[in-house]
A and B are shown apart, each in its own frame.
Chain A
Amino acid sequence: MSLLDIDGLHASVNGEPILKDLSLRVEAGEIHAIMGPNGSGKSTLANVLAGRPGYEVTAGQVSFDGIGLAGVEPEARAQAGLFLAFQYPVEIPGVSNMEFLKAAWDSHRAAQGSQPESAVGFMKRARALAKGLGLNPEFLKRGVNEGFSGGEKKRNEILQLLLLEPKLAVLDETDSGLDIDALQTVAAGVNRFRSADNGVLLITHYQRLLNHIVPDRVHVLTEGRIVASGDKHLAEKLEAEGYAWLSG
Chain B
Amino acid sequence: MAVGIEALQSLEAPPWLGAEGLTRCRQALGGKLVRETWKYSPLPKVTDALIDANVHQEPPDLALPPGTALHRFDKLDAPPRFGIDLNRYPLAGIVAARAGACWLIEVKRTPSRPLRLAAPGGRINAPLLVQVAPECRVDIEQEAAETADTAGFGALVLVLSLAADSEAHWATAELAPMVDQWSLLQAHLHGNAALTLNHQGAVANFRRQDINVVLDGQGARLSSVGAALICDGGRLDQQLVIEHASGGTVSRIKQHNLAAGRSRCTFNGRIHIHAGAVGADADLSNRNLALDPSAEVNTKPELEIYNDDVRCAHGATVGQLDAEALFYLLSRGLDPQQAQRLLSLGFLRDGLAGPFAERAATAFAAHFKGD
Residues in A lying within 8 Å of B, measured CB to CB: 50-53, 73-75, 77-79, 83-84, 86, 89-90, 92-95, 99-100, 103-104, 107-108, 111, 143-144, 160, 164
Interchain CB contact under 8 A, A75 and B334: yes
Ranked nearest first, the 9 interchain pairs of A and B with the lowest CB-CB distance are: A94-B346, A95-B346, A94-B349, A94-B350, A78-B333, A104-B332, A107-B333, A74-B330, A90-B328
Interchain CB contact under 8 A, B345 and A104: no
Interchain CB contact under 8 A, A100 and B329: yes
Listed A/B pairs (9) with beta-carbon separation below 8 Å: A74-B331, A75-B330, A79-B333, A94-B347, A100-B329, A104-B329, A104-B332, A107-B333, A108-B333
Complex-state Cα separation, A93 to B322, whole angstroms = 12
B306 at the interface (CB under 8 A from A): no
Which residue on chain B has the smallest CB distance to residue A75? B330
Complex-state Cα separation, A107 to B330, whole angstroms = 10
| B contact residues around A86 at 8 Å (CB) | 328, 331
Interface centre among B333, B339, B350 (most CB of A within 10 A): B333
Q: Which among B323, B328, B346 is the interface contact of A93 at CB below 8 angstroms?
A: B346
Interchain CB contact under 8 A, B334 and A90: no
Complex-state Cα separation, A143 to B347, whole angstroms = 11
Interface residues on B, range: 20 to 34
| A contact residues around B331 at 8 Å (CB) | 50-52, 74-75, 77-78, 83-84, 86
Complex-state Cα separation, A52 to B346, whole angstroms = 22
Per-residue CB proximity of B320-354 to A under 8 Å, as 1/0?
00111101111111111011001101111110000
Interchain CB contact under 8 A, A93 and B335: no
Chain B min CB distance to A156 (Å)? 11
| A contact residues around B339 at 8 Å (CB) | 75
| B contact residues around A164 at 8 Å (CB) | 332-333
Chain A min CB distance to B107 (Å)? 34
Known contacts being A89-B328, A92-B328, is A75 close to B347, with CB within 8 Å? no
Q: Which among A52, A89, A107 is the interface contact of B334 at CB below 8 angstroms?
A: A107
Complex-state Cα separation, A179 to B345, whole angstroms = 35
Complex-state Cα separation, A204 to B327, whole angstroms = 22
Interchain CB contact under 8 A, A92 and B333: no
Interchain CB contact under 8 A, A78 and B332: yes
| B contact residues around A77 at 8 Å (CB) | 331
Chain A min CB distance to B301 (Å)? 20
Interchain CB contact under 8 A, B335 and A75: yes
| A contact residues around B347 at 8 Å (CB) | 94
Q: Which among B324, B327, B343 is the interface contact of A95 at CB below 8 angstroms?
A: B343
| B contact residues around A73 at 8 Å (CB) | 330
Complex-state Cα separation, A148 to B58, whole angstroms = 51
Complex-state Cα separation, A104 to B322, whole angstroms = 18
Which residue on chain A has the smallest CB distance to residue B324? A90
Interchain CB contact under 8 A, B345 and A94: yes
Interchain CB contact under 8 A, B332 and A100: yes
Which residue on chain A has the smallest CB distance to residue B227? A94
| A contact residues around B350 at 8 Å (CB) | 93-94, 143
Given known contacts A75-B335, A92-B343, A94-B348, what 20 new A-B pairs fall within 8 Å (CB)?
A: A74-B330, A75-B330, A75-B331, A75-B333, A75-B334, A75-B336, A78-B333, A86-B328, A90-B322, A90-B324, A90-B328, A93-B346, A95-B346, A100-B329, A103-B338, A104-B333, A107-B338, A111-B333, A143-B350, A164-B332
